[in-house]
Amino acid sequence: MARTKTNFFLRTVRHAKNYGGAPVCAAINTAIIPFGPGHIVYLYIMLQQQPTGITENEPLSFDETVRRALSFCDTLPDDFAPYRAQLAELQTRLSGGRLHFAVLGQFNRGKSTFINALLGIKTLPASVLPLTSVPTIIEYGAEQQCRIRFTNGKDDLVVREPAELMESTLRQYVAEENNPKNKFHVRDVTVTCASDLLINGTVLIDTPGFGSTHLHNTKTTIDLLIECDAALFLLSADPPMTQAEMDFLRRVRERVPKLFFILNKVDLLTTSELDEVDRFIRGILTKELGFMSDTQLYHTSAIHGNRLGSGLDTVKKEVLDFMLHEKYFTLSEALQDKYAEATTSIKSLLEKRLTNLLAPLTSMKGEINAITTAIQSLGLELESQIKNCAEEKDLLNAKINLWTSENLESYSLSMKKALDVLLTDKYFPAEAASIASSMLPKHANDMGAQLLSVMLELANKSIRAIALHHALAFSNLQKRYAELMTGSNIEPHDPEKLAGQLEINPVAIRKAFNTDVEPWDTPQPQIMDIFRKKNIRFDAIREFYDPLCVTSVLESVDKAGTQARSAVDAAWKNVRTTIRAGYQEMINYLKMIHSTKQDKLDRDHAAVKEEIRFLRDKLKELKTLMY
């Protein structure tokens, strides 16, 4: 527990003030010893200045804090009731000075015999076999009696006298041999007696011994440690210290603020053996377990009752001394630890409830944020895809321009060649002119068609590759956002199929160059006359047809270029439209989901808003009550 020693000291002193009288002065005296003279002066001033209580600016006293914590618990729901009960028990113990003084030890060390001897009673059963299996509480009562309470609804069993009957009744219910694994459903056993050790609320607890073959007894005692404020730890010489005892002591040290060590059954040892055992045990306590070097180890022989020489008198004196000087200090420290545990548990439960309420909202918020981000990145991705398309289109058009200009010259040559061949073959100009008029335009047309066909193939290949790339990117996006689009009926795209839909349709476009080409007009009669003059006719004919050839090739190539570009344009438009439509479909769907989820989040948040505020307020309030 992270508390400053000074705060703790002050709280304890204040708490002690509530009890008044000699024990308080003794408690104060004992408490100030570790703090030196400066603290004595401070304490004196403090007590002088505030004889009746604490001002608002002072830190709260422990009992006031517990009282406030109880009122705080009253404002909490029913499932906090167990913690309220813990705090109420704490308050009862605090106001009644009910110190839980346990007698701990390995089985058969003589715990029950020791308590009998310490209190001068014969009530608690003892045996050479592992015996006590149910913790027995011994508290102050003018008359001796024992009360057994059950968990199965059975009436309490109360025995008042004689002592033998009490012992045999207890033996029946708290002894492992008669009540194995608590088959009689004993809740607890309380014994009362009028010992001065028990005045002022102190209770002794006879605990089941640990380390026997009855493992459940060990567990019972470990569970009980949380309830213990101080303890008498019994050891004996047979053997002097076991591994189980060392392990158990480590736990005890963590939980129990005040410990007395008793070496019992010293009657079984010679003086020199006792010295040896004493040294051995002290060595382990200090060197192995880290207890202070001045730790007392009292020697007792409980079997001899409280007769002179049994050592019980010294222990009793020490215990009484402790009650007088340190009890409230120890009780306060122990209860503050328990208070801290209870309030920490309340805090955890409040936090858990808050987390349970917030978790679905947080996760829904996360989903909504993811959708917002997805919508934004889809928009950006779409823009970049479209930009990419435009660049790809420009690139392809540039290629078409290149292809057309590259072919222009060879096509012109091809036309010239065709004309040459024609003129070589034909003798009659009229025939040559007629054939040239019909054949040359067809030749130009064929070449244009051929060029277009080649260009479309190349463009198509390129578009298809790029369309496939886009379609793949798109289908990956769909996969990435599939989780966000749960329940959507958007079909996941097959990239191959999509790319197939986006290609140019060459067959349709190729029809632009039809096979029935209009022939050129045959030359005018005057021109035909020129042709007829044999010596000049070839030159004349060539001169006449050359420009037509050039124009027709230009036209044809131009037409092929135009057709190819418009086919590319159409294809890109298709690609763009398809991409945009796909993205838009996803974006729209995500927007719809976004608004549905946002509505739900708003509704859900409104439904738990009050509870969240309540829990947050309670956590804040609790913070002021925590040590």
Ligand X SMILES: Nc1nc2c(ncn2[C@@H]2O[C@H](COP(=O)(O)OP(=O)(O)OP(=O)(O)O)[C@@H](O)[C@H]2O)c(=O)[nH]1
107 binds, among ligand X, Mg ion, none (CB under 5 to 8 A by kind): ligand X
CA distances from 146 to 71, 136, 150, 224, 237 (A): 35, 10, 13, 20, 32
Q: Is the Cβ of residue 263 or residue 499 nearer to Mg ion in the bound state? A: 263
509 near ligand X, rule: CB under 6 A:
no
For residues 214-250, one letter each, b for 16 or more C-beta atoms within 10 angstroms of the residue's C-beta and e for the rest, the string is beebbebbeebbebbbbbbbbbbbeebbeeebeebbe
- Interacting residues of 379 by C-beta distance below 8 A, sequence separation 6+: 583, 587
Told to check if 303 binds ligand X by CB under 6 A, we report yes
The site that binds ligand X (CB under 6 A) totals a number of residues, namely 23
- By CB under 6 A, residue 128 contacts ligand X: yes
Q: Which is nearer to Mg ion, 132 or 407 (CB)?
A: 132
- The DSSP H or E segment spanning 234 is strand 230-236
Q: What's the gap between Cα 102 and its chain centre?
A: 40
Kindly write down the DSSP assignment for every residue of 272-340, as one continuous string: HHHHHHHHHHHHIIIIIT---TT--EEE--GGGTT-TTSSHHHHHHHHHHHHHHTHHHHHHHHHHHHHH
The span from the CA of 389 to the CA of 397, in Å, is 12
By beta-carbon proximity to ligand X, the closer residue of 181 and 613 is: 181
Residue 208 or 441 with smaller CB distance to ligand X: 208
268 binds ligand X (CB under 6 A): yes
379: nearest Cα among 102, 579, 626:
579
The nearer residue to ligand X, 305 or 519, going by C-beta atoms, is 305
Strand-pair partners of 297: 261
Establish whether the linkage from the previous residue to 525 is cis, with ω within 30° of 0: no
Q: Cα dihedral angle (290, 294, 299, 300), rounded to 10 degrees?
A: -80
Q: From the list 8, 72, 83, 110, which residue makes contact with ligand X (rule: CB under 6 A)? A: 110
What is the closest distance, in whole angstroms, from the C-beta atom of residue 209 to ligand X in the complex?
2
Site for ligand X contains 111 (CB under 6 A): yes
DSSP for 537-575 reads HHHHHHHHHHHHHHHHHHHHHHHHHHHHHHHHHHHHHHH
Residue placing its CB nearer to Mg ion in the complex, 104 or 335: 104
Tokens of 234: 């019994």
Q: Does 267 interact with ligand X (rule: CB under 6 A)?
A: yes
98 interacts with, out of ligand X, Mg ion, none, CB within 5 to 8 A per kind: none
Distance CA 129, CA 122 (A): 18
C-alpha span between 490 and 132 (Å, rounded): 73
Does residue 264 interact with ligand X by CB under 6 A? yes
Q: What is the number of the residue whose Cβ is closest to ligand X?
A: 209
- Span of 106-114, 392-400, 511-519, 612-620 interacting with ligand X by CB under 6 A: 106-114
Two tokens, residue 416? 């010239």
Single out the residue of 314, 327, 318 nearest to residue 101, CA to CA: 327
Among 65, 112, 385, 563, binds ligand X (CB under 6 A): 112
Task: Name which position in 80, 107, 248, 298 contacts ligand X (CB under 6 A).
Answer: 107
Q: Which of 105, 240, 495, 582 binds ligand X (CB under 6 A)?
A: 105
Q: How far is the CB of 127 from Mg ion (least distance, A)?
A: 8
Output the smallest distance, CB 154 to ligand X, in A: 24
Q: Which amino acid does the sequence have at 563?
A: Q
Q: Please, which residue, 111 or 265, has the CB nearer to Mg ion?
A: 111
Partner in contact with 211, chosen from ligand X, Mg ion, none, beta carbon below 5 to 8 Å by kind: none
Residue 615 beta carbon to Mg ion: minimum distance, rounded to whole angstroms: 47
Query: Nearest approach, Cβ of 205 to ligand X (angstroms)?
Result: 12
Instruction: Tell whether residue 621 is a contact of ligand X (CB under 6 A).
Output: no
Give exposure, 255-287, as e/b (b: 16+ Cβ within 10 Å). bbbbbbbbbbbbbebeeeebeebbeebbebbee
- By CB under 6 A, residue 177 contacts ligand X: no
Question: Which one of 90, 198, 252, 302 is in contact with ligand X (CB under 6 A)?
Answer: 302
Is 132 a binding residue for ligand X by CB under 6 A? The answer is yes
Strands (E), 33-109: 100-105
Query: Residue 265 interacts with ligand X (CB under 6 A)?
Result: yes
Specify the stretch interacting with ligand X by CB under 6 A; choose among 263-271, 281-289, 406-414, 417-425: 263-271
Q: Which does 265 bind (CB under 5 to 8 A by kind): Mg ion, ligand X, none?
A: ligand X
Residues contributing to the site for Mg ion (CB under 5 A): 111-112, 131-132
Label residues 410-442 b or e (16+ Cβ within 10 Å = b).
ebbebbbebbeebbeebeebeebbbebbebbbb
C-beta of 107: minimal distance to Mg ion in Å?
Answer: 8
Q: Does 131 bind ligand X (CB under 6 A)?
A: yes
In angstroms, rounded to a whole number, what is the distance separating the alpha carbons of residues 114 and 265?
10
Segment contacting ligand X by CB under 6 A, of 8-16, 295-303, 361-369, 384-392 = 295-303
* Shortest distance, position 230 Cβ to ligand X, whole Å: 18
Q: Is 385 in the site for ligand X (CB under 6 A)?
A: no
The answer to whether 251 and 222 are in contact (CB under 8 A) is yes
Choose the one of Mg ion, ligand X, none that binds residue 64, judging by a C-beta under 5 to 8 angstroms depending on kind. none
Report the C-alpha gap between 477 and 473 in whole angstroms.
6
CB count in 10 Å sphere of residue 392: 20
**Shortest distance in whole angstroms from residue 60 CB to Mg ion:** 41
Is 130 a binder of ligand X (CB under 6 A)?
yes
- Residues binding ligand X (CB under 6 A): 105, 107-113, 126-128, 130-132, 208-209, 264-265, 267-268, 301-303
